[in-house]
Amino acid sequence: MESWAEIEVELIIADYFQMLSKELASIQYSKAAYRKNLLPLLRKRSQGSIEFKHQNISAILINLGLPYIKGYLPRFNYQKLLEEKVIDYLKNNYSIENEFRNFTDKVDIKLNEEFSFDKILVNPPNQNIIQDPMAYYGKNPIKINYLEREQMNSKLGLLGEKLVLKYEKWNLIRNGKENLADQVKWISNEEGDGVGFDILSKNLNGTDKYIEVKTTRLGKETPFFFSRNELLFSINNSKSYNLVRLFNFESNTKMFVKSGGLDTICYSVPISFKGYF
């Protein structure tokens, strides 16, 4: 297929950011309608090729530490031209950062209480090795990592941990382990964040279950961030350690679980260092 021309790349990036702005503001829109309006402006592109490009843009934004459209799962094998044009768009549209900030710092987060616990658990995503975000620091006009900033939203983190606490008790009770459900503790709330995990739960056989909760209002593939203390705790307690990843929080909340040390259950890159003299 013919390579995308520069003007086509610019058009699809503008199209993507129009949708992203609405999504970040919780405004309903139709992806199909946007594709339909974009098609006549391009060189006989299929709807599939347009969707693929949108997924490429999601991957670029993730690598830049920025929010993305949840419905367009990231595909990381993108053109250099596409990456450069996304960065140009960010340079020329500074107001988009206000939208990122409003999204990540939102405090009036409300969880739909009508969802069912027996439908919340899904399979984890495939493990993708992505490019090191350090490579973008010189080019990215937005210097704040808004994916990390969202994770630092205390209201979001609190609601996520509270939900997992309820889920653990519910799961034990439905398996006839009411006595174990009474032993589930919210460690980060009772003892602070420095312990290395958030919730002390129980397996069905009564053994300890250490749970670290990471919550995002974005999609399943959104990277998460963890401290050296959390990493070391997970390695030293790998047989009992569980990462619970909540995603689509607030709109269509789901979660997946990965067990073992953080050094084995995900691909990680160092983004900060500690220097000594």
Sheet holding 208-215, edge to edge: 185-186, 199-202, 208-215, 241-247, 254-259
Of 47, 218, 204, 60, the residue nearest 140 (C-alpha): 60
Strand partners, 257: 244
Name which residue leads in pLDDT, 3 or 102. Answer: 102
List the single range of 2-11, 169-178, 204-213, 256-265 with lowest mean pLDDT.
Answer: 2-11
What the block records as the tokens of 101 is: 């900030």
Handedness of CA 48, 247, 239, 171 (dihedral sign): negative
Cα–Cα distance for residue pair 219/228, rounded to 1 Å: 25
Query: Average pLDDT, whole number, for the chain?
Result: 92
- Predicted confidence at residue 27, as pLDDT, reads 95
Kindly report, residue by residue over 152-162, the tens digit of the pLDDT: 999 999 999 99
Q: pTM for the full model?
A: 0.92
Q: Is 185 helix (H, G, I), strand (E, B) or coil?
A: strand
Report the pLDDT value the prediction gives residue 161, as an integer from 0 to 100: 97
- Does residue 216 have a pLDDT over 50? yes
| pLDDT tens-place string over residues 61-114 | 999 999 999 999 999 989 899 999 999 999 999 999 999 999 999 999 987 666
Q: Which residues contact 114 (CB under 8 A, 6 or more apart)?
A: none
Beta bridge partners of 213: 244
Residue ranges covered by each domain of the chain: 1-104, 109-277
Given a contact cutoff of 8 angstroms between Cβ atoms, the answer to whether 83 and 130 are in contact is no
Say whether 239 sits in a helix, a strand or coil: coil
Q: Is the pLDDT of residue 128 over 90?
A: no
Quick one: average pLDDT of 145-173?
A: 97
Confidence band for 209, pLDDT divided at 50, 70 and 90: very high
Q: Name the residue with higher pLDDT: 143 or 134.
A: 143
Alpha carbon 266 to chain centroid, angstroms: 13
DSSP string, 260-277: S-HHHHS-----------
Q: Which residues of 117-144 are buried (b: 16+ CB within 10 A; e: fewer)?
A: eeebeeeebeeeeeeebeebeeebebee
Token pair of 99 as six digits: 């939208």
Spatial distance between the Cα atoms of 159 and 165, rounded to a whole number of angstroms = 10
Quick: pLDDT tens for 40-66: 999 989 999 999 999 999 999 999 999
Q: Is 238 within 8 Å of 223 (Cβ atoms)?
A: no
* Predicted pLDDT of residue 133: 46
Over residues 3-19, the mean pLDDT reads 96
Q: How many CB atoms lie within 10 A of CB 35?
A: 19
